Each structure stands twice: as C-alpha cells, then as structure tokens.
C-alpha cells in the first residue's frame, strides 16, 4: 500500500479500510484481517492509558507504540499521529519532531489535526519528503477549544470553514484527510471536491474510506461506552473477562493445573533427587 495506491483507490471507487492499532498483536491481527491502513492513533491516551483525552500523550510514547506496530506488519500502510503541541511551534522544531517519529517509529506517514492554521507545517513536511494525512472536523487535540465532542459542520459557517480547510490541506500536499464527526452531507461534498481520499469516522458512508478504533469495533473495554457512529463486530471484552474468571475459578478449586499440564522427572532420578531411595 502507498499514497499513490490510495489515490487510485479513490479514483476507482474502491473503499479504503483503516483501523487503529497500538501494539504488536493488534497490528498483526489487523494485517491478517486484510486492513489497508493502520493508524497508530494518539487515541491510545484514552483506550490504552485510561486518560480523559489525547492531550497527555507524548512524542516518546507515540514513538514507542509506533515501533511495536511497524515491527508487526509488512503490507498495511502505517500512519502515526503527531501528538499535541509537537507540530505547532517553529518549523525547525516541528520537522525535528516529525523526523523522530518517522525515523524511530518507522511509520510511513504522519497525521496532523487542523486546517488552514497548520497548512504551512504540512507543506514544509511534504517538501521534506514526509507523507502527511490531514484531520479535520472534530479534532480531539482541540476538544476543549471547540467545546467538547460534538458533530461538526451543522451550520453554514462551520461547513464553509471545513471545506476551506480540506482544500488548503490538499493544496499543501496532504495525501488524504480524516473527517471526524462531520455531517453526512458535508462529508459527501468535501469528498466530491477533493482529488485525495477522505477517511471518515462518524462522517457517514460517502467518504472514500472508513476508520474505527480497534477497541471500539471489538468492544475491548470495560465498561463499553456505545457510540452512534461505531458498529461492534465482536465482543472480546466479555470473552476475555469470562476466560479470566474461569481461570480464577479453576485455580481456586485446584482443577488447574492438572497432571496434563505438569512435567515429571525420569523415574531413575526421582528417588535420590527428592530424598527417596533409588532402586538397585
């Protein structure tokens, strides 16, 4: 998979499948399932670290998790999130941080949240050889500024701003744009007006691809918090909890481990080794 391949998929009307992954086993399973793109999202702050937002996630943590994912896969295109305030300072510092994530994490692209206000950073990154995926609509790193986790693009002013942001990001060289919690109608218009793919999450069926969080679509959480834009395809949270509960039960009643799980010494050595008498 490559940025060129993704753009061709848009042109050919072939949907792009994308999922988050944060470690080796989840990335391995995603690749085996045939996913096109893996996002090492700063959403790990919420679903892995138990944070209230993505803001506390550091660059070092993103590098660490990206390493785990890229170590696992060969075919999917791996994109890693630039964490909060690592690409909003000087261009030199931003490019330094982007270079660290690419070089140490071994991802193939980075994702940045924002529109017009980050276009110069996107352009400089692309000119430096870094593929950049944009992200507009609900931008979790700005959640306190935009007033919470709310659907974006409901009125004309918001819609015009998001269309402008998308076009500016395309002009700056972004190879794709995530549309998060954007109205169906607006997502369709943006998708039609861009030559680069749009990847939707809570943005309806008209985007060129879709992305969901690993833990959401598999209900790998406790408690599971339903989201309108998420379809659950499995419930591994219950399976894990039930499996561990059965293990605890068998340890308590001494049915595990049984003899089939035990190892035994050779009969000739068992006597003298453990204080018994050897034969002969």
Catalytic residues: 180
In 128-266, where does DSSP find H-type helix?
Answer: 156-172, 184-193, 214-217, 236-252
Strand extents, DSSP E, the chain? 16-20, 37-40, 77-81, 109-113, 132-137, 176-180, 198-201, 209-212
Cα gap 263→48, rounded to integer Å: 37
Distances (CA, A) of 236 to 47, 63, 219, 245: 14, 27, 6, 14
How many Å apart are CA 211 and CA 206, to the nearest integer? 13
Rounded Cα distance between 176 and 124, Å, is: 16
């Amino acid at each position: 998979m490559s940025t060129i391949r993704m753009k061709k998929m848009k042109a050919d009307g072939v949907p792009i499948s994308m999922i988050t992954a944060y470690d080796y086993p989840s990335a391995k399973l995603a690749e085996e399932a045939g996913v096109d793109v893996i996002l090492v999202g700063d959403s790990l702050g919420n679903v892995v670290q138990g944070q209230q937002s993505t803001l506390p996630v550091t660059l070092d943590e993103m590098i660490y998790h990206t390493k785990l994912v890229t170590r696992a896969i060969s075919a999917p295109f791996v994109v890693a999130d630039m964490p909060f305030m690592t690409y909003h300072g000087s261009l030199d510092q931003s490019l330094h941080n982007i270079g660290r994530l690419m070089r140490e994490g071994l991802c193939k692209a980075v994702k940045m949240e924002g529109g017009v206000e980050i276009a110069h950073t996107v352009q400089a990154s692309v000119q430096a050889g870094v593929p950049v995926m944009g992200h507009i609509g609900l931008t979790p790193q700005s959640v306190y500024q935009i007033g919470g986790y709310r659907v974006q693009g409901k009125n004309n002013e918001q819609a015009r701003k998001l269309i402008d942001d998308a076009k500016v990001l395309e002009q700056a060289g972004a190879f794709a744009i995530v549309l998060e919690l954007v109205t169906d109608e607006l997502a369709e218009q943006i998708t039609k007006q861009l030559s680069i793919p749009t990847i939707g999450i809570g943005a309806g069926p008209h985007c060129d691809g879709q992305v969901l969080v690993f833990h959401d679509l598999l209900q790998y959480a406790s408690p599971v918090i339903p989201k309108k834009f998420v379809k659950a395809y499995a419930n591994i949270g219950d399976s894990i909890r039930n499996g561990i509960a059965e293990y605890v039960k068998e340890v308590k009643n001494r049915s595990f481990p049984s003899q089939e799980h035990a190892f035994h010494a050779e009969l000739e050595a068992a006597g003298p080794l453990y204080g018994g008498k050897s034969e002969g």
